[in-house]
Amino acid sequence: MTLGHIMFYVLGAGGVASALLVVTRRNPIISALYLIVNFFCLAGLYLTLNAQFIAVIQIIVYAGAIMVLFLFVIMLLNLGDDRKLSDAITVRKVVGAGLTLGLFMEVLYILLTAGPADSERAEAAGIALGTVEAIGAQLFTTFLFPFEVTSLILTAAIVGAVVMAKKKLD
Amino acid sequence: MPMISNAPLIVLFPLAGFLLIGLLGWKYRNELVIGIVGSGVIFLSFATAVGVLFEMASLPEEARRSTVQLFPWIGTFTGTSGSLGVSVGYQFDQLSILMTLIVTGVGFLIHVYSIGYMHGDKGYWRFFTYLNLFIFAMLNLVLADNFVLMFFGWEGVGLCSYLLIGFWYEKTFTGDAAKKAFIVNRIGDFGFLLGMFLIMRTFDSLSFTSVMSSASVMPTGTPVMFWIALLLFVGATGKSAQIPLFVWLPDAMAGPTPVSALIHAATMVTAGVYMVARCAPLYALAPDVLMIVAIVGAATAVFAATIGLVQNDIKKVLAYSTISQLGYMFLAMGVAAFSAGIFHVMTHAFFKALLFLGSGAVIHGMHDEQDIQKMGGLKKYLPVTYATFVVGAIAIAGIPPFAGFFSKDEILWNAFSSELGSPVLWTVGALGAVLTAFYMSRLVILTFHGKERFDHHHVHPHEAPKTMTVPLVVLAGLSFVGGWLGVPASWGLGNVVEDWLNPVFEPARHKLMLAEHESHAAEFTLMTISVVLAASGIYAAWRWYVQHTDVPDRIAGKFARTYRILLNKYYVDEAYDAVVVRPTQTASDKFLWKGVDVIIIDGAVNGTAKVIAIAAQTVRRVQTGVAQSYAMVIVAGIVAVIAALLFI
Amino acid sequence: MVPIPYYLVLSAAMFMIGAVGVLTRRNAIIVFMSIELMLNSVNLTLVAFSVATGTITGQVLVFFVMTVAAAEAAVGLAIIIALYRRKQTVNLDEINILKW
């Protein structure tokens, strides 16, 4: 039981628990806050995988930027504690949960029946793999074109968001 | 042979005119241009036909027949047995070129006449479009070298007849007349079509050449030939307005007068006669049908003439006269005097076109008045029309040396002397001739002589313009001299028309084993009798309508019943109405519409729609519109696909 | 080091939790957050495989996913705002005109 193991179990348990709370809480604000917890747990998990860059931008972009947007919208629409949306157990929910559980079982079955992964090689290469330097080198050489295309996506998203949220559409 | 190879142009000129005027006329409504183009193309056809005629005449008798194939039309062109190979091809022989000359010649004159007659009509361009299309169809009918193309022309002229009868479509009765003409013609056409089917089955071909040559070696009097000939004759009775399908022709007078002259007197209605003549070798194999043809023709001749005695509409009189004259032509066909029949077609085209155009000039001058009881004394107002009209009337009455005398007499003589004829047929024909002379004289007298019975304040009779009178004069000339082409052989001058046509009909006459009769004495006697009869008819009319004008009324009063029957045209229309039209309407209404259509067809259609609607009402519940249920289906799909990949 | 399959199971669990949220919740915002949850679990898988195979492509892909997720969040939230303006609700059961 190394530190890595302990961290994995703690963060994994935290991630699953916070995810469960996200989908079960009635109040969207609370859900959103648990989602931030979940993102932090994930960032930790990335660190255990030696993916430092991803871990950092997980916190900066997700927990920082995106979640702020979520909270902002929830509060803008004043959706906090919306009792009217209280969810009764319906057939659809049962079926949905059942289907998802079935899917989970199938995935689990695949993972358990698959052969053991080669973790030794990972151990060796992992340290240097997830650094900003390594990713940056890849990003600006091999993936330069997709990288540039993301700027277009972001521009389109900005324009789209502005147009959508404008008060008078017509 | 330069002319013959150009001969299809005869047909193509009117088509070009039709397309030109039909496509551009509505836009450039220049009456002068339309009139010149419309008449000009017919004249070009006529000129080409004349060229072909001269070329044909320069050839020896056996070489005069030729065909020009333009292009394959239906099926294979190999002409092998069992395959329906129909081509667009034209046949030029003595018969078809003569008919072509009549159609284009008289047609051209009537086109010229129409320039004046239709002046100012808002459908001017439409009129010439239809007329050109009609000539195109008629030439196809006449020149076709197979039954299918002939049928195309046959239907084409029927269509044009329909369009032109209903030309003034704003009036209900013109539309009704057009529909009546079309439907009655359809009945006849159905017979024609059945006859064609039988020919196809029997001869394995529809081209005239092969059918006629096969027919020449067939035995006489077989049932199948009887039916072929009879069914073709049914077609002819429809198109040529014979008993029992004549009812459409009087109503067809609702159309413009040039149409009555061109289609319903000179050309289209003679198509039936032409068809019988064209199929003479087939009829030669069915002497029984020839007898039927003769009887129907003779009966129609007298029947229509009696109705014509009492009609008061100037065009109706002429219409019944046309039916009557067509009866003579069929009488000629029936006694195998094919040449005489076609000769009568020719002379009749001249004088009946003349009479119709003359009546058109009268109607034109009288501001659309057609009732002869409201005319009278028009002689001094319309001198040219009067003179030409009288020429036409004398011609049709059968007074020598006018055209009608020669052709009618030829028919009567054949009806008497032919082995297929009989004195009875001659008597009936002669009776018709008296009646014809009488009603034509009555028409002339009531229209042009006597007191002026019209209202002088409203009607100012005036002579027609030059474009109308010139054709009248030309036709009058033809009515006068046209008959000289067919001077009886017994006069020793040579019968040009018959000599010209006889080679075409020789096989048929040979098959019937008809001998030429050379009893000049009998012929002269009969001729004299018929002239005397015609003269007496004219005299009677003159006496009753000029000298003792009270006689007609007295007779009408005395034979009130007969008079009423005649006035109402023997109640044939009413009888058809009661026997055919009304039961059909009732059956259509009660059974076909409210039964078959509403319950079965609508029921099936609506039922199908209803079933689908119900099914859709049920199935559409799946489409909740809630995106999550769709997502659920996606997940279910993923589960199923993975399960399938893992476990199957 | 923790074996890679552990990460995969964890990722699958979080993905399923997100999926349940998407399928069962009626609040559009929470559904949207559940979608983010699913995206993140996929990111975890990508990073895990990146490490397992010793190539960096997986992590680059995560970078792109995050970019797209940011764009998606912006547009998605704008849609929710627009919807709320029109229908005064974010209850997905009431936003059901996409039918018949």
Q: Is B87 helix (H, G, I), strand (E, B) or coil?
A: strand
Q: Provide mean pLDDT across the span B187-212.
A: 90
Q: Are B161 and B181 in contact (CB under 8 A)?
A: yes
Out of C19, C22, C96, closest to residue B626 by CB: C96
Q: Is B258 domain-assigned? A: no
Same structural domain, B547 and B576: no
Give how far B635 is from chain C: nearest CA, Å: 9
Q: What is the CATH number of domain A1-83?
A: 1.20.120.1200
Minimum mean pLDDT range among A111-125, B374-388, B491-505: A111-125
Lowest mean pLDDT among B118-122, B395-399, B623-627, C83-87: B623-627
Percent of chain A with pLDDT over 70: 84
Alpha carbons B45 and B138: distance in angstroms, whole number: 12
Contacts with B528 (C-beta within 8 Å, 6 or more apart), sequence order:
none
- The β-bridge relationship of strands B66-74 and B86-92 is antiparallel
Assigned domain for C40 exists: yes
pLDDT digit string (tens) for B335-372? 988 888 999 999 999 999 999 999 999 988 888 888 88
The region of weakest confidence among B64-78, B178-192, B632-646, C55-69 is: B64-78
- Classified as helix, coil or strand, B222 is coil
Q: Which token pair is B298?
A: 């003779």
Q: How far apart are CA B160 and CA B357, in angstroms?
A: 19
- Residues of C in Cβ contact (< 8 Å) with A51: 47, 50-51, 59, 62
pLDDT (mean) for A61-84: 79
C-alpha to C-alpha distance for B540 and B536, rounded to whole angstroms = 6
B530 lies in the same domain as B577: no
Residue B563: which pLDDT band, with cuts at 50, 70 and 90? Answer: confident
**How would you write B42-82 as a 3-class SS string?**
HHHHHHHHHHHHHHHHHCCHHHCCEEEEEEEEECCCCCCCC
Shared domain for B533 and B576, answered yes or no, is no
End-of-domain residue from the set B527, B551, B567: B567
Distance from the B632 Cα atom to the nearest Cα atom in chain C, whole angstroms = 6
* pLDDT surpassing 80 at residue B188: yes
- The residue among B2 and A14 whose pLDDT is bigger is A14
Residue C99 lies inside a defined structural domain of this protein: no
Count of the separate structural domains present in chain C: 1
Q: Are the Cβ atoms of B626 and C93 closer than 8 angstroms? A: yes
Q: How confident is the model at residue B192 (pLDDT cuts 50, 70, 90)?
A: very high
Domains of chain A, by residue range, sit at 1-83
The pair of three-digit structure tokens given for residue A105, joined into one six-digit string: 């079982």
pLDDT surpassing 80 at residue B396 = yes
Return the amino acid letter for B374.
K
Confirm whether C96 is domain-assigned.
no
**Considering only CB atoms, which chain C residues are within 8 Å of B620?**
99-100
How distant, in Å, are the alpha carbons of B142, B203, C21 from that of B84?
A: 21, 11, 75
The pLDDT, as a whole number, for residue B80 is 52
B155, part of any domain: no
Are B601 and B489 part of one and the same domain? no
Percent helix, strand, coil in chain B, to 5, is 75, 5, 20
* CATH number reported for the structural domain that contains residue C15 in this entry: 1.10.287.3510
- Chain C CB contacts of B631 under 8 Å are 22-23
Q: Let me know if residue C35 belongs to a domain.
A: yes
Q: Does the residue B171 lie in any domain?
A: no
Which residues of chain C neighbour B627 with C-beta distances below 8 Å?
92, 95, 98
Question: For residues A54 and A42, what is the distance between their CA atoms, to the nearest angstrom?
Answer: 10
In a domain, B287, yes or no: no
Q: In this structure, is residue B5 part of a structural domain?
A: no
What are the pLDDT digits (tens) for B525-547? 888 888 888 888 888 888 888 88
Cβ contacts (< 8 Å) between A90 and chain B: which residues?
A: none
- Check C99 against B620: CB less than 8 A apart: yes
For residue B49, being part of any structural domain is answered with no
Ramachandran region, residue A43 (left: φ > 0; alpha: ψ -120 to 50; beta: rest): alpha
Question: Token pair for residue B477?
Answer: 């000339």
Domain count of the fold of chain B: 2
Task: Assess if residue B143 is contained within a domain.
Answer: no
Residue whose C-alpha is closest to residue B204's, from B82, B87, B86: B82
Whether residue C11 lies inside any domain: the answer is yes
- The answer to whether A54 and A81 have CB atoms below 8 angstroms apart is no
| B458 at interface of C, judged by CB pairs closer than 8 A | no
A-chain residues near B628 (CB < 8 A): 92, 96
Domain end: B567, B595, B614, which one? B567
Contacts of B353 (CB under 8 A, 6+ apart): B106, B109, B110, B261, B262, B265, B266, B475
Q: Is the pLDDT of residue B493 over 80?
A: no
Long-range contacts of B71-75 (CB under 8 A, 24+ apart): B73/B148, B73/B149, B74/B148
**Rounded CA separation A101/A97 (Å):** 6
**Which position has the token pair 């609370």?**
A30
Is residue C69 assigned to a domain? yes
Does some domain include residue B458?
A: yes
Nearest CA-CA partner of B283 in B82, B516, B514, B515: B514
> Same domain for B392 and B517?
yes
Q: What is the DSSP string of C52-91?
A: HHT-SHHHHHHHHHHHHHHHHHHHHHHHHHHHHHHHS--B
Give, for B349, the enclosing helix (H) or strand (E): helix B338-365
Do B623 and B537 share a structural domain?
no
Average pLDDT, chain B: 87
Please report which confidence band the pLDDT of residue B1 belongs to, taking 50, 70 and 90 as the band edges.
very low
Output the CA angle B470-B466-B353, nearest 5 degrees. 40
- CA dihedral over B476, B477, B481, B485, signed as positive or negative: negative
Neighbour subunits, C (≥3 Cβ pairs < 8 A): A, B
The residues with which B88 forms a beta bridge, in sequence order, are B71
Same domain, B467 and B606: no
B63 CB within 8 Å of a chain C CB? no
How many residues appear in chain C? 100
Residue B530 shares a structural domain with residue B601:
no
In which band, very low, low, confident or very high, does the pLDDT at B78 lie, cut at 50, 70 and 90? low
Domain boundary (B567, B589, B617) is at: B567
Q: Considering only A8-17, B438-447, B486-495, B590-599, which range has the smallest mean pLDDT?
A: B486-495
* Residue C72 resides in a domain: yes
Nearest to B229 by CA among B191, B266, B255, B264: B191
Residue A86: pLDDT band with limits 50, 70, 90: low
Q: Which residues of chain C have pLDDT under 50?
A: none
Tell me what the mean pLDDT of segment B6-16 comes to: 89
Q: Which domain holds residue C34?
A: 4-87
The neighbour count for residue B251, using CB atoms within 10 Å, is: 21
Question: What is the domain extent for residue B614?
Answer: 572-647
Is the CB of C19 less than 8 angstroms away from the CB of B635? yes
Following DSSP, what letter does each residue of B177-188 receive, concatenated?
HHHHHHHHHHHH
586-645 in chain B: CB under 8 A from chain C: 620, 623-628, 631-632, 635
Q: Retrieve residue B139's tokens.
A: 């030439």
